């Protein structure tokens, strides 16, 4: 079979065939009835384009900057704490991102240490959860900074909801011999995945090395998760504290309301990502793309506004940028690429997005990605969601942007 794939949907099909059932299930994630995860993708299908039939256009330029980092296209790797997809894990993703000129977001719950990931891609943003006491949080930030991370992504939108109507994947606490044997029917049915691990001489150790503190060993994924669950939720003063402690650019990921966007600005963040955690958090939260336009209007002149959730093709990137995002972050798309073909699979996904962005720019007769605006997009009435706007706390308002 040709290792190259044509679309992100094909990468997903290959990931499903290649990964053990529980690993693929963890990567799909989602929560409750899966309303939000489905909505994130569906909402993009409601948006259309208003292309030109002819007209001059120069060489297309997709470049932009985010948190001071130059990006060859308006796409970043969103942090994902997922294990056992590929032995090279986030290092392979970081290399692919570096080869394609984009930045890497590294999760606190990642399987690879921040030092190795920054070595693979100097444009790395370290993602932090509010987990443990302030001393531990400071220590994790200091480690990431010392490793050379050039920005911090603070993710606070998590509500520990895990029931899934389609069933949650079975993930072991650690992989000892007994557990490996119990997973044998799944893993033996996936010989190519198994062969990649055998070749690497490693088995997934299911630890979170970036959560270690006090010079201790990397905690197990679930040990770290338990600590996070037991940590009282932060408030806006804590967000301001993080910004001070980090002393560099901070992005707050998971903003979906306008009032929160204003508070994030007040707390001192340099960027936000309009996001619902890829539909893994509070099910019933609207698609991120629906909440984007009103948030971009409200704070886009003060801070950088990004979006993540549901990006599967270059045209999705263009729609988000035209509706006010400076750039987008991708999660599942690159994880599927990684599962399908390692580093080359992630590069394949990034090339698919780049090609799709280029086609859309050509059709819209826009030379630069930064020239995109709402006149390029067809937005149906009622598409937008204005959450937490003072004049209308009742959640919805009619669409204002249409072409
Ligand atoms: C398996 C999985 C693990 C994730 N882990 C994290 C994480 O550790 N930290 C974080 O900020 N976001 C995490 N996310 C959310 C992603 O960063 C991103 O918001 C989301 O995947 C975007 O939606 P998309 O997958 O449709 O692109 C995770 C998402 C997935 C699918």
Tell me, in angstroms, the distance from the centre of ligand 1 to residue 30's CA.
Answer: 10
> Residue 296: is it exposed, middle or buried by C-beta count within 10 angstroms (0-12/13-18/19+)?
buried
Domain boundaries, the chain: 8-371
139 token code pair: 């220590």
**Is residue 373 helix, strand or coil?**
coil
373 token code pair: 């605006």
Mutating to test ligand 1, I would choose from 27, 40, 76, 81 the residue with most ligand atoms within 8 A of its C-beta, which is 81
**Protein residue with its CA nearest to atom 20 in ligand 1:** 278
- Residue 36, ligand 1, Cβ within 6 A: no
- Residue 337, ligand 1, Cβ within 6 A: no
Q: How many CA atoms lie within 13 A of 70 on its CB side?
A: 5
CATH topology of domain 8-371: TIM Barrel (3.20.20)
* pLDDT tens-place values along the chain, 403 residues long: 799 999 999 999 999 999 999 999 999 999 999 999 999 999 999 999 999 999 989 899 999 999 999 999 999 999 999 989 999 999 999 999 999 999 999 999 999 999 999 999 999 999 999 999 999 999 999 999 999 999 999 999 999 987 899 999 888 777 776 777 788 888 888 999 989 998 999 888 899 999 999 999 999 988 999 999 999 999 999 999 999 999 999 999 999 999 999 999 999 999 999 999 999 999 999 999 999 999 999 999 999 999 999 999 999 999 999 999 999 999 999 999 999 999 999 999 999 999 999 999 999 999 999 999 999 999 999 999 999 997 655 444 444 433 3
Tell me, in angstroms, the distance from the centre of ligand 1 to residue 312's CA.
Answer: 14
Burial 80-115 (b: 16+ CB within 10 A, else e): bbbbbbbbbbbbbbbbbbbebbbbbbbbbbbbbbbe
- Residue 155, ligand 1, Cβ within 6 A: yes
Residues 6+ apart with CB under 8 A from 226: none
Contacts 24+ apart (CB under 8 A), 59-63: 59/367, 60/358, 60/361, 60/362, 60/366, 60/367, 60/368, 60/369, 61/367, 61/368, 61/369, 62/354, 62/357, 62/358, 62/361, 62/368, 62/369, 63/369
- Residue 107, ligand 1, Cβ within 6 A: yes
> Residue 35: is it exposed, middle or buried by C-beta count within 10 angstroms (0-12/13-18/19+)?
middle
- Residue 372, ligand 1, Cβ within 6 A: no
Atom of ligand 1 lying closest to residue 153 CA: 11
161-190-105-356 Cα dihedral, nearest 10 degrees: -110
d(CA 70, CA 62): 11
- Residue 44, ligand 1, Cβ within 6 A: no
300 token code pair: 């886009």
Beta bridge partners of 327: 306
- Residue 127, ligand 1, Cβ within 6 A: yes
Question: Looking at the annotation, which residues are catalytic?
Answer: 277
Q: What is the pLDDT of residue 402?
A: 37
d(CA 13, CA 16): 5
**Protein residue with its CA nearest to atom 1 in ligand 1:** 27
Tell me how far the alpha carbon of residue 346 is from its chain's centroid: 14
- Residue 40, ligand 1, Cβ within 6 A: yes
**Is residue 267 helix, strand or coil?**
helix
**Helix axis angle, 177-188 relative to 191-200, nearest 10°?**
130
pTM for the model stands at: 0.95
d(CA 279, CA 299): 23
Mutating to test ligand 1, I would choose from 250, 277, 289, 309 the residue with most ligand atoms within 8 A of its C-beta, which is 277
**Is residue 72 helix, strand or coil?**
coil
**Running DSSP on this structure, what letter comes out for residue 271?**
E
Tell me, in angstroms, the distance from the centre of ligand 1 to residue 368's CA.
Answer: 28
Beta bridge partners of 77: 104, 330
- Kindly report the CA angle at 46 between 40 and 47, in degrees rounded to 5? 100
């Amino acid at each position: 079979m040709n290792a190259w794939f044509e679309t992100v949907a094909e990468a997903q099909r290959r990931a499903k065939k290649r990964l053990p059932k529980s690993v693929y299930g963890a990567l799909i994630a989602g929560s409750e009835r899966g309303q939000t995860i489905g909505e994130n993708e569906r909402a993009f299908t409601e948006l259309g384009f208003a292309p030109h039939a002819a007209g001059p256009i120069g060489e297309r330029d997709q470049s932009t900057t985010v948190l001071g980092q130059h990006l060859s296209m308006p796409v970043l790797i969103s942090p994902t704490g997922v294990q056992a997809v590929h032995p090279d894990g986030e290092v392979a993703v970081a290399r692919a991102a570096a080869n394609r000129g984009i930045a890497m977001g590294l999760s606190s719950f990642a399987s690879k240490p921040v030092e190795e990931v920054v070595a693979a891609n100097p444009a790395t943003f370290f993602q932090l959860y509010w987990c443990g006491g302030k001393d531990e949080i400071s220590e994790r930030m200091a480690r990431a900074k010392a490793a050379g991370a050039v920005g911090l992504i603070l993710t606070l939108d998590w509500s520990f909801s895990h029931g899934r109507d389609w069933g949650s994947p079975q993930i072991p606490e650690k992989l000892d011999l007994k557990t490996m044997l119990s997973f044998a029917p799944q893993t033996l049915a996936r010989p190519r995945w198994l062969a990649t691990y055998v070749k690497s001489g490693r088995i997934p150790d299911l630890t979170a090395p970036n959560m270690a503190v006090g010079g201790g060993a990397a905690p197990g994924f679930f040990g770290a998760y338990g600590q996070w669950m037991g940590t009282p939720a932060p408030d806006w003063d804590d967000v301001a504290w993080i910004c001070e402690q980090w002393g560099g650019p901070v992005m707050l990921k998971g903003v979906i309301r306008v009032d929160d966007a204003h508070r994030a600005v007040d707390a001192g963040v340099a960027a936000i990502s309009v996001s619902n955690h890829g539909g893994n958090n509070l099910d019933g939260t609207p698609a991120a793309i629906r909440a984007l336009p009103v948030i971009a209007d409200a704070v886009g002149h003060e801070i950088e506004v990004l979006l993540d959730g549901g990006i599967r093709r270059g045209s999705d990137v263009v729609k988000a940028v035209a509706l006010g995002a400076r750039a987008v972050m991708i999660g599942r798309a690159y994880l599927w690429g990684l599962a399908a073909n390692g580093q080359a699979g992630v590069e394949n996904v990034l090339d698919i997005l780049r090609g799709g962005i280029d086609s859309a720019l050509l059709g819209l007769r826009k030379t630069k990605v930064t020239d995109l605006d709402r006149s390029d997009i067809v937005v149906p009435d009622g598409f937008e969601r204005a959450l937490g706007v003072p004049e209308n706390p009742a959640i919805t308002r009619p669409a204002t942007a249409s072409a």
